[in-house]
Structure formats: C-alpha cells, structure tokens
Amino acid sequence: MKNIAVVGVGYVGLVTGVCLSDLGNRVVCVDINEEKIEKLNLGKMPIYEPGLEDLVERNVRAGRLSFTTSYPECLREAEFVFIAVGTPEGVDGEADLRYVRMAARSIAEEMDHPLIIVNKATVPVGTGDWVADIIRQYRNGEVEFAVVSNPEFLREGSAIADFLAPDRVVLGSLDREAAEKVAQLYLPLRTTIMITDLRTAEMIKYASNAFLATRISFINEIANICEALGADVKEVATGMGYDARIGHGYLDPGVGYGGSCFPKDVKALSYMAEIKGRHPQLLRAVMDINDDQRRQIVRKLDQALGGLRGRTIGLLGLAFKPNTDDMREAPAAYIARMLESAGARVRGYDPVAGAVAGRVVPKVDLASDAYDLAEGCDALVVVTEWNEFKNLDLARIRDLMAGNVIIDGRNIYEPEQLKELGFYYRGTGRGYESA
C-alpha cells in the first residue's frame, strides 16, 4: 500500500483518486473548494460519472479514501502527490495555469519529506520544468523531490473503465527512478507503460487529443460533401473503417466535438505552435470546421422552417456527450445561443445535465422529459445521442409537436422510418436528401 495525495477533485482528480484507492492504496484528496469536499464527505458526488458514487463509497468505507481542504493533512504521509487541477482556456487560447501554480506552491510550502510530484492535469509542454522551479522556490530547506508527467486519457462517461483498463500509461521525467516508482502504481493494470522525458510526455497528450479532434472534423467535412454529392456518410465511414490503417474510431459525423479537452487542447497546441513561430494550418482548419458544424444545424433549421423568428425549437440533449452532465464547450449551448439570436424560442431536455444547463444557458426552457419537450415544438434537434432518445415513441412525438421537422445531429434515426411517420427529416451527411 502506497500513500498518495491527489490535489483537485474534478473529473480527473476524483476519478484518479478513487481508482488508485481501489487498487489498494491509501489516498487523500484535497481541494480548496469547501463545498465540494463537504459534499464528498457526505457521500454526494460533485460530478456525474457512471459508477463513481459506488466506487467512492466502497473505498471510503474501507478506509482507503478520504477528502480534506487541508494541505498539511493531505501531505502528512504522502509519497506521491498528483496534481489534477483544472487548466481552463485563457484569453488567447493558451492554457490558464493559475491553479497549477497555486497547487505547486501549496505543496512546496507544506512538504517536509521527499515527494514525487505527478502532473496529471493536461498542461502545456514545459510545465513540468516550470512546476519544478516553483517547488524549488517555495520549499522549506532542501527537501528532495522529483516531477513526473502522467497525462490522463480519460473519457467522460467511461472514465473509470478508461483508468482501470487503459490503452497505455505515459510517464515522463528527468528522474528515471522517480518515473519507475510511479510506474509501480500502475503495474496491477497490466498495460503498456511508456517512460520518456517530461516534455515528450506532455506533448503526447496534446498530439493525441488533436489527432482525435482532427478525425472528427475530417468526417464532418466529408459529411458536408456527402450532402452536396448525394452520398451517405454513415456508409462511407463504415467502408473507410474497415481499412486497418484507418479504423472505425471517431468517424461518427455530428454537431462537432465539445467538452473540457478537445476544444481547449487543440487551441492550446495551436497557441504553443504560434508563439514558437510555427504555422498550425491543420489545427486551425480543425477548429473552423468544428465551429461550422454548429452553424450547419441552424442553417438546416432555417431552411426547413422558412425562418426562425417566433419558432419553438427543442434540443434533445444538452451535455456535450452522453453519460455526463458536463456542459463545457457543449455544442447545444452554441446552438441555443444562435437560435435565440435569430429570434427563436429554445427548449431543451437532458437526462442528467438539466441543472448544469440551467446555469450555462439560462434562457433555455428546460423540459421534464423528451415528450414534454416535443409538445408545441416546430422542430426538434438531436444534439446528444443518449440511448433513451433512440427508443422514443416517435409517433407520439409527432402528435405532440406543432411542426414536423427533426434535424438529427447524431444520425441516430433511420431516415425512411422518420419519413414514413410524416417527419421532415434531415440527418448529417445523409446524401439521399439531396441526391
């Protein structure tokens, strides 16, 4: 059993802490947000993530997991400290590292024995060196330490499975011995562990997310071309995916990527390239295509309805993806604001993100379920592919609506079925519509 401290109880920090404790370690999580810690100590989760609540309860009950606002308490017996605080987008697209700085300084001021400090948050290339400089500046005396980069590759909605069954674990450090000690924590996962230097490990994270975002923007561009040429992008993507060099992952066209990672990481990587005198044209195109996918939805609605002013539009799904309540960079929020600016009334329903959406898009009228949402709407837009939307009674939906327009931003419905039910249906890249 190792003693581990985790700084930050957001998506990354909380999942990291609870999973490390479930592997048999003693983990203390610290956060300066008293409300979050109070909720966790009462057994209430500050985020929605399938399976998280049960895992927290089990490890708290076993005495392996605890929560505090006190750095001295958190660090008292720690051998490893994982920094898992937020790195939001800055004014120019750069990563805002204020919380990383605060965490590093707090660790330095309270550490009184050797520590291995692990950067778990997504941070710009060079942050590991910068954190080491902060620790040296603020530590008491000459307490030894090492910094290891350990980027996370967690997907919201499947974060626990991703942690416990990862494709790989990436570690980077200028201290090989420290990296190997961190590697020991992950040996029970029986996965590939790659050890490299600090900056390369940090870059692996950005390059991975940028590549996945590129695949999404690529297939969305192909979808738009399919609409113009009369091809079906779902069949195109399936045919492409059978090529072993390509694969099927991240080839689902839709309303664009969102969430806390892809948007800010692509922007941050582009920013890093630009300040070093490089010209990241591909990354810029990826971002432009993603932005345009949201506008495509609004253009389709405008065309189908003959104008948006005075119309009532219902959004099926508000979170940026299923199985999360995360509204950060959610396509639904952008679409809602564009529709509101065009004079439409916007309603919305999401199985778990309603409370969060109420703060992010306060003008959206929140419905209690999909049928409540449909009542009186001129059009519905599928924004998030929740499973419950795939099995709706569509005849009932049709009868409740004032109009008959469905814009399927996730291609979850069969076009012919919708047309037979009397809907005006537009998917994403379904070429029969314009052939």
Residues tagged active-site: 261
Are the C-beta atoms of residues 418 and 394 closer than 8 Å to each other?
yes
Strand order in the sheet with 168-173: 65-68, 26-30, 3-7, 80-83, 115-119, 145-149, 168-173, 192-196
Cα separation, 182 vs 170, in Å, equals 10
Are the C-beta atoms of residues 317 and 386 closer than 8 Å to each other?
yes
Are the C-beta atoms of residues 62 and 39 closer than 8 Å to each other?
no
Q: Which tokens is 211 given? A: 């590549």
The angle at the Cα of 169, spanning 166 to 174, to the nearest 5 degrees, equals 170
In sequence order, what are the beta bridge partners of 379? 313, 405
Spatial CB neighbours of 197, under 8 Å, sequence gap ≥ 6:
172, 173, 174
Query: CA 405 → CA 206, 314, 375, 413, 426, distances in Å?
Result: 39, 10, 13, 13, 8
Are the C-beta atoms of residues 68 and 79 closer than 8 Å to each other?
no
Angle between helices 281-305 and 198-229 (to 10 degrees): 40
- Torsion, Cα 375 376 378 379, to 10 degrees, reads -20
Question: Alpha helices of 380-435 — where are they, by DSSP H?
Answer: 387-390, 394-400, 415-420
Q: Which of 330, 199, 173, 365 is nearest to 257 (CA)?
A: 330
Instruction: Read off the amino acid at residue 386.
Output: W
Query: CA 372 → CA 181, 321, 324, 423, distances in Å?
Result: 54, 21, 21, 18
Cα separation, 60 vs 56, in Å, equals 6
